[in-house]
Structure 1
Amino acid sequence: MDQDQNDSLQRNLSNRHIQLIAIGGCIGTGLFLGSGSTIQLAGPSIVFIYMLIGIVVFLVMRALGELLLSNLNYKSFVDFVSELLGPYAGFLLGWSYWLCWVVVGIADLVAIAGYTNMFFPNLPSWVPALVCILLFYTLNSLTVKLFGEMEFWFAIIKVVAVCILIIVGGTFIAVSFKAPTGEVASLSNVLNGGDLFPNGFRGFLAGFQSATFAFIGVELIGTVAAESKDPFKNLPKAINNIPLRIIMFYVLAVLVIMAVIPWHSIDPNKSPFIVLFLFAGLPAAAAVVYVVVMTSAASSTNSGIFSSSRMLYGLASLNKAPRFFTNLSKSAVPVNGLLFSCICLLSAVVLLAIGNKSIIDTFTLVASVATIITLFTWSLIVLSYIRYRKKYPERHQASLFKMPGGIFTCWICIIFVILTILTLTLQSNTRIGLYLGAIWFASLSVGYLLIPQEVKKDWKVLLDQAINKN
């Protein structure tokens, strides 16, 4: 890298970028595409699932916020995990989180290809995936501010889509709209005759996996923190708004969907957002929602490309990845990490060219792997917080953004993570993801053991220099 170039990430993301990235992280492809299968598993109890996960997500993000603001030299959560829990934990987390966004990106590209097929049935499915990779690589390589602008508008589209669904669905409920199939929109459809757990407690538990997947990306704010202007103002504001967003984008949305469409009539293989308008006999509106779902998948892919490139940059800066990933462009973009992540995403093009799996099948498998890594990430964040409270009590006392409940709520989050992982054993398709996750962590652990001790000592020196610099 030339000496006249920037040698560190720049704080070029403004308040509106951070707020909309946080909102976009709360509205993932899992909500638009995967909520149908969750509703089929859990029935009306999906509302309780989203609320429980939302509480845990908020607590984890509060822990994340206090930790990041305790030392602005932390570029991401991998830095404080490495310092507080040790190099092994940081190594596992950094590479696992990178993999998480790569596999989510692959699933999102498959979804984009599938929905593009509706408008261009003769177009080879791998073409839109390749176009998206090239487009996002080009745009992300220019400047981080452009990434912020893209996510700003992507998030606005998603917010508007959810708001329209709630308004339209609410109108259907208010006027007791009768669908062409004969069903009448009513809140009584949600109550399901008083049976909130139609598939029993097992069905309720099984819904947690796909519901958790819908929240993947909310921790992205911990990756963009290093490039945020005025983090002491923007980070707390973005995190504190999470509960309101979850109530609006998840709880209200699924309540409206189940009130208009009886839960047992929802096709788990289709987006309930699209099905709602088809159910009401509005195919033109459904076609618009198709575009919105594609936009959501594109937003997730874009976030994944950004996050994975920054994760490689952080790992390389600590010698946990090849040093060429630390190379920055003149606009302070980690171009080598960006290129490598995009190359890995090309596997989606190969999959679409030779594979024959459905969108939902691919999503289920990828979702289970990504969910495991996300739960692993959340658990390390709260475990780091527990260690932080013991190691730096003076920082906690000086903090203006303390985690509610402190260490007690950390243990609640850890118990939740353990129980959610156990729910992955309830279904055969999610068990495969659990096994793949175990193989990944075992492989990383073997790789860590093979790394010479001299290299690991260098990790500690580099980390100390990075997090203690003036």
Structure 2
Amino acid sequence: MVSDDTKPVFIDFMTQYLGERAGFVLGWTYWIGWVVIAMTELTAIGTYMQFWFPSWPVWPWELAFLVALYFTNTIAVKIFGEAEFWFVMIKVVAMIVTGLILAFGHVKTSMGVTEFSTLWSHGLVANHGKDLLSTFQMAFFAFLGVEFVGITAAETKDPLETIPRAVNSIVIRILIFYIGALSAIMIIQPWTNYQAGVSPFVQVFSGIGVSSAAAVINFVVLTAAASSINSAFFTTGRMLYSLVGEKSRFKRLNKNAIPKSAINLSTLIVGLAVVVNYLFLTDAFTLISSTASAAFLLIYMALMWTHLRFKKQTHGTKSHGFKLPLAPFSNYLTIAFLALIFIILLLNHETTITTLLSLIWMVLLTIIAFFRIKK
């Protein structure tokens, strides 16, 4: 969901409380962040297709899906996204129910007897914590886009009632659909036995001998990735249209009022994922996802700082009864936590280069903003 001028609403707030230059830098960073997310999902699609075609390289599948999604982007986007939501919910609920049934029944599978103790019997921290820290980046990447809950305020009938309820429900949803699903798959199969690059949901159903269910689950996650790319095309094209100047060739609409030129450019950049996967067969997902994570870490830190500036400039007079708990302490704590993840990305040899690239991007945009914007 985006505002009437096709920019996310929070970018306008950043511009208002952090300045025109900050709004320029963060707006373009948000655009490139979603482009990179689409690249990551395209990489995932190639991996999912290897479930059925293990001997094929991933990049031809990525190219095929890229072309297909480009041409279907303007057709039934809402329906496609809604279908993906229900597909994923079915996947998660099925996984949790399966895990509980097997655990309570102590069912024996090819991986051993299913018990709740499998959660902790194989240890809780790998490599004395080193691998645990490296998972912060992937966990953070999994929640990118959560800011859309707030963005929908402009499209909600009663935002003062609906948005607080939606924000508060996120915690419950995480516990059920994220922690619950992860617990279920680790009860059925020890976390030490999972193969990187393959959906754990697919591995679980394959391991318990339900190969048909594994194929269905793989189709579900494939659909989820395709839907994410479809949404990214929709968002990045319209946001690029809003960011460029009035005389830009990307500031054009076709006869259907669609910014096709802007979508074309976004699609071409997303297509670089095909090249990356051709050149970096094993590390492509980590390389691309860490770039998106680094960009969004900076944006989320800026969001928390915007809230601090908002409270300072308004002296707390503008309040709608939905306050950030423990603010401003929670602001600084959140910024510190996000900074910690950023440092982990920077120090991890697999993600150092991509994290530095995001910093270089921000520095270049800041220099451009300094010369283009006089305030």
TM-score where L is the length of structure 1: 0.71
Q: Deviations over 1:204-242 (max 9, x none)?
A: 322211111111222234555555565455543432321
Contact 1:324/1:336 (<8 A) preserved: yes
Matched, 1:376 2:298: yes
Cα shift at 1:259: 1.1
Change (3 A) 1:430 1:168: same
Trace 1:63-82 onto structure 2 (pairs within 5 A): 75-82=8-15
Contact 1:157/1:292 (<8 A) preserved: yes
Residue of 421, 433, 439 corresponding to 2:360: 439
Aligned residue-pair number: 373
Quick check: 126-135 or 266-275, which moved more? Answer: 126-135
Matched, 1:276 2:201: no
Q: Which runs of 4+ in 1 moved over 6 A?
A: 121-124
Cα shift at 1:83: 1.3
Change (3 A) 1:389 1:330: farther
Residue of 19, 31, 49 corresponding to 1:86: 19
Q: Tell me how far apart the structure 2 counterparts of residues 328 and 99 of structure 1 sit (CA, whole Å).
A: 21
Residue of 99, 114, 132 corresponding to 2:32: 99
Trace 1:376-415 onto structure 2 (pairs within 5 A): 376-393=298-315, 396-397=318-319, 399-415=320-336
Residue of 120, 125, 141 corresponding to 1:191: 120
Change (3 A) 1:379 1:186: same
Give the secondary structure class of the aligned counterpart of 2:318: helix
Matched, 1:111 2:36: no
Q: Tell me how far apart the structure 1 counterparts of residues 161 and 262 of structure 2 sit (CA, whole Å).
A: 29
Contact 1:82/1:89 (<8 A) preserved: yes
Give the secondary structure class of the aligned counterpart of 1:218: coil
Q: Tell me how far apart the structure 2 counterparts of residues 234 and 147 of structure 1 sit (CA, whole Å).
A: 24
Q: Tell me how far apart the structure 1 counterparts of residues 156 and 271 of structure 2 sit (CA, whole Å).
A: 30
Residue of 199, 216, 232 corresponding to 2:144: 216
Cα shift at 1:346: 2.5
Give the equivalent residue in structure 2 for 1:448: 369
Q: Tell me how far apart the structure 1 counterparts of residues 32 and 105 of structure 2 sit (CA, whole Å).
A: 47
Matched, 1:148 2:78: yes
Change (3 A) 1:127 1:263: closer
Matched, 1:297 2:232: no
Cα shift at 1:417: 0.8
Change (3 A) 1:414 1:115: same
Q: Tell me how far apart the structure 2 counterparts of residues 277 and 447 of structure 1 sit (CA, whole Å).
A: 51
Change (3 A) 1:140 1:119: same
Q: Tell me how far apart the structure 1 counterparts of residues 262 and 12 of structure 2 sit (CA, whole Å).
A: 17
Quick check: 411-420 or 112-121, which moved more? Answer: 112-121
Gaps of 5+ in 2: none
Cα shift at 1:139: 4.2
Contact 2:119/2:187 (<8 A) preserved: yes
Contact 1:216/1:374 (<8 A) preserved: yes
Q: Tell me how far apart the structure 1 counterparts of residues 9 and 199 of structure 2 sit (CA, whole Å).
A: 33
Cα shift at 1:332: 5.6
Residue of 74, 77, 96 corresponding to 1:166: 96
Aligned alpha-carbon RMSD (Å): 2.9
Matched, 1:355 2:279: yes
Contact 2:238/2:259 (<8 A) preserved: yes
Cα shift at 1:85: 0.7
Q: Tell me how far apart the structure 2 counterparts of residues 281 and 336 of structure 1 sit (CA, whole Å).
A: 48
Cα shift at 1:262: 1.3
TM-score where L is the length of structure 2: 0.88
